Chains A and B, each alone.
Chain A
Amino acid sequence: MLGKLLLNHYEAVAVILFGIGMTNLLMQRNLIKKIIGLNIMDTAVYLFLAAKGYVEGRAAPILIENGSGGWLTSSELYVNPVPAGLVLTGIVVSVSVTAFSLALALKLYENYGTLNIDEALLKMTEEQLELETTIENAEEDVLV
């Protein structure tokens, strides 16, 4: 199995990076690090896709002149262009996702003063309890 993995080293590294990013996403309590872990997962998937499109000894998918005013259009000459197109789309979408989640994290920081998700949850529950007690007190006042 190790020998086969060495044949597919790009894909193996992509899978390991995916695992590291996912561990980051699950384990880190800091939101910024969680977002970085998400980005690492993204790039791991892109690396896997692009590695599947690579063919040994072929050129980048940009047409080459054949010397007499025409273009070499044999598919034996170029690597697979489809993963490049897919990944190009993905990179830009991942930037917008990163910006959006950073904005969410900033809003959370403005409200709770922390980036740690546990502390933020604790403060959220405390606020909820306070709200419930004030509502109960108000109801009692109304009843009295």
Chain B
Amino acid sequence: MIILEWLLLIFLIVCAIAVSISKNLLNSVIIFMSYSLVMAVIWVLLRSPDLAITEAAVGAGVTSVLFFLALRKIGQLGHEKENNEAK
């Protein structure tokens, strides 16, 4: 159990550093999603099931979907801009 705790905590730190290092925005959003999922497991270990459910649904689900949508919209806008410039 102690080993699992330490593994999860170290995974959190590695994720947080990887988010700042990674060059690709999509990669960093996916890493942040896994960070939220591991955080949900840690809430279970800390005996807070309410937080675990909320974090899994809100943090890992909806926040990441919002980030993905923002990225898609930016890609879309950039794409359209390139098209306009090409015209």
Contacts and interface: CB of A to CB of B under 8 A. Distances in A.
The yes or no verdict on A and B being binding partners is yes
A123 interface: no
A138 interface: no
B12 A13 contact: yes
Nearest to B81: A113
A47 to B, nearest CB: 7
Size category of the binding interface on chain A: 35 or more
Q: Dominant SS at the B interface?
A: helix
Contacts of A109: 74, 77
Interface residues of B, number: 39
Say what secondary structure dominates the interface of chain A: helix
Contacts of B59: 43, 91, 95
A43 B9 contact: no
A95 B46 CA distance: 22
Nearest to A42: B59
Interface of B: 5-6, 9, 12-13, 16-17, 19-20, 25, 28-29, 32, 35-36, 39, 42-43, 46-51, 54-55, 58-59, 62-63, 66-67, 70-71, 73-74, 77-78, 81
